[in-house]
Amino acid sequence: MSRRPVRLITVDPGHFHAALVQKSMYEDVDSVVHVYAPGGKDVELHLGRINNFNTRAEDPTTWKEEVYTGDDFFEKMLADTVGNVVVLSGNNRKKTEYISRSLDAGLNVLADKPMVINSAGFEMLKTAFETAKEKDLLLYDIMTERFEITTILQKELATISDVFGTLETGSPDNPSVTKESVHHFYKYVSGSVLTRPAWFMDVTQAGEGVVDVTTHLVDLVQWECFPEQSLTYNDIEIISAKRWPTKMTRSEFAAITKVKEFPEYLKPYVVNDSVLNIYCNGEINYKIKGVHAKVSVTWAYRSPGDGGDTHYSIMRGTKSDLVIRQGADQQFKPTLYIEPKGKDAKFEAVLTEKMKSVEAKYPGVSIKKIAKGWEVDIPANYKEGHEAHFSRVMEKYLEYLKNKNMPAWEVPNMLTKYYTTTKALEVANSTK
């Protein structure tokens, strides 16, 4: 039997996202996946997650993992030439090097965010994209948040000038676009408490908050505010950036890593031999094409009532603000609101009329009047959840790989995104 055209190679899968791209099966992807990794807990946890997908009661997957473990795992991967798409989601210290060397070897790459965690890595990434172009290879990062329905509809409504108006310029104190993300170390994935690798708490291996989760937020600012436009570094001006730690006790660390003592590489961040300072929080204030934007990420140990990660987003238009809230009032479910400015008696009639085009694209979506404006009512079938979004990203990647139809703006915008995050880290470190 001939193999399917896409053959995955999973390299050093230290992050649970590596497994989530295999939560579903894909028509063009071979069921045999070759895994190359150093031996240890990271790869064991990854294989356990794949096994859970294969053995679940509902719609089980049929992956067959061929595993090689050893210190020479990456050299062995390059030598074996058993696949054509490298999936990278793990320790970020060498990720940019793995991206570059995989492309040099003629392999396509699907990389989890962040592709780079510092300015040196960014320079390497620029060369990597040049290599991908020369060799006609596909290098792409996993931007799951583009597939969250409230974000999709926020973007959609922002294109309707009779409802949104135009994007305001804003100011540093009152940005036109704000995106805030709250994450938690203790969380559930596929129904089980997630075991995190100890290195995840080391910012030299995982990356600081300014360059990690903020990648998603910077991407959404570009994607929503300047849809299908190619951006460059000249469009970005970093105004300010900052970083600060989350404190984690030894017992909290042990609960999520199953490691009783802080490893030696974490000792520089340990206070009084009992509390770990993790620089996973960050904020960037910047201008993009003259528009003021702010993105921030904060990490708590555990959410109240295990409500999960949360997202806040506002786009300020001249006629209305489009706001996503995900707090206790929303039962920790992302909810989109339309909040008009001023007292335009015709606004409701205009909105009702313009929503018809939205409802045509997204059947079942509607609006309901509330005190401050309107809440967008979204049917449950659109609310897939974060884990399902990894399959959406993979489907998009496979489409681009097969049809060679990745939009021209994607590569310059990926580079602009990582320029923004790594430049912001430089600023944050210079002002601490």
Percent of the chain topping pLDDT 70: 99
Alpha helices in 87-185 (DSSP H): 95-104, 119-135, 149-158, 161-164
Number of domains in the chain: 2
* Domain final position from 113, 141, 169: 141
Mean pLDDT for the stretch of residues 85-112: 97
Say if residue 216 is in the same domain as residue 239. yes
Which residues share a beta bridge with 181? 297, 311
* Residue range(s) defining the domain that contains residue 294: 146-386
pLDDT value for 242: 96
Say if residue 193 is in the same domain as residue 225. yes
CATH of the domain at 244: 3.30.360.10
- Residue 392 in domain: no
Cis preceding linkage at 114, omega within 30: yes
pLDDT value for 307: 62
Say if residue 150 is in the same domain as residue 86. no
Q: What is the pLDDT of residues 104-136, one digit of tens each?
A: 999 999 999 999 999 999 999 999 999 999 999
CATH of the domain at 132: 3.40.50.720
The alpha carbons of the chain give a radius of gyration, in whole angstroms, of 22
Nearest-angstrom CA–CA distance, 263 and 242: 27
Say if residue 293 is in the same domain as residue 350. yes
Q: What is the pLDDT of residues 170-212, one digit of tens each?
A: 999 999 999 999 999 998 877 788 899 999 999 999 999 999 9
Q: Decide if pLDDT at 2 tops 60.
A: no
- Residue 407 in domain: no
Q: Are 382 and 336 in contact (CB under 8 A)?
A: no
Q: What is the pLDDT of residues 68-82, one digit of tens each?
A: 999 999 999 999 999
Say if residue 364 is in the same domain as residue 220. yes
Say if residue 288 is in the same domain as residue 338. yes
Q: What is the pLDDT of residues 273-301, one digit of tens each?
A: 899 999 999 999 999 999 999 999 999 99
Mean pLDDT for the stretch of residues 160-178: 97
Paired tokens of 173: 């104190």
pLDDT value for 184: 92
Give the confidence band of 1 by pLDDT, cuts at 50, 70, 90: very low
Write out 231-294 in H/E/C secondary structure.
CCHHHEEEEEEEEEEEEEEHHHHHHHHCCCCCCHHHHHHEECCCEEEEEEEEEEEEEECCEEEE
- Residue 23 in domain: yes
Mean pLDDT for the stretch of residues 46-75: 97
Q: In sequence order, which residues have a C-beta less than 8 Å from that of residue 61 and are 6 or more positions away?
A: 22, 23, 24, 25, 50, 53, 54
- Residue 406 in domain: no
The residue count for the chain: 432
Mean pLDDT for the stretch of residues 406-423: 98
Say if residue 177 is in the same domain as residue 131. no
Say if residue 113 is in the same domain as residue 182. no
- Residue 220 in domain: yes
Say if residue 101 is in the same domain as residue 172. no
Say if residue 250 is in the same domain as residue 324. yes
Say if residue 27 is in the same domain as residue 81. yes
Give the confidence band of 408 by pLDDT, cuts at 50, 70, 90: very high
Mean pLDDT for the stretch of residues 15-23: 96
Give the confidence band of 4 by pLDDT, cuts at 50, 70, 90: confident
- Residue 404 in domain: no
Mean pLDDT for the stretch of residues 399-427: 98
- Residue 171 in domain: yes
Kindly write down the DSSP assignment for every residue of 160-172, as one continuous string: -HHHH-SB--B-S
> Mean pLDDT, the chain, as a whole number?
95
Say if residue 312 is in the same domain as residue 192. yes
- Residue 398 in domain: no
* Domain final position from 141, 159, 184: 141
* Domain final position from 126, 141, 156: 141
What pTM did the predictor assign? 0.94
Q: Are 125 and 99 in contact (CB under 8 A)?
A: yes
Nearest-angstrom CA–CA distance, 295 and 417: 12
Q: What is the pLDDT of residues 318-365, one digit of tens each?
A: 999 999 999 888 988 999 999 999 888 899 999 999 999 999 999 999
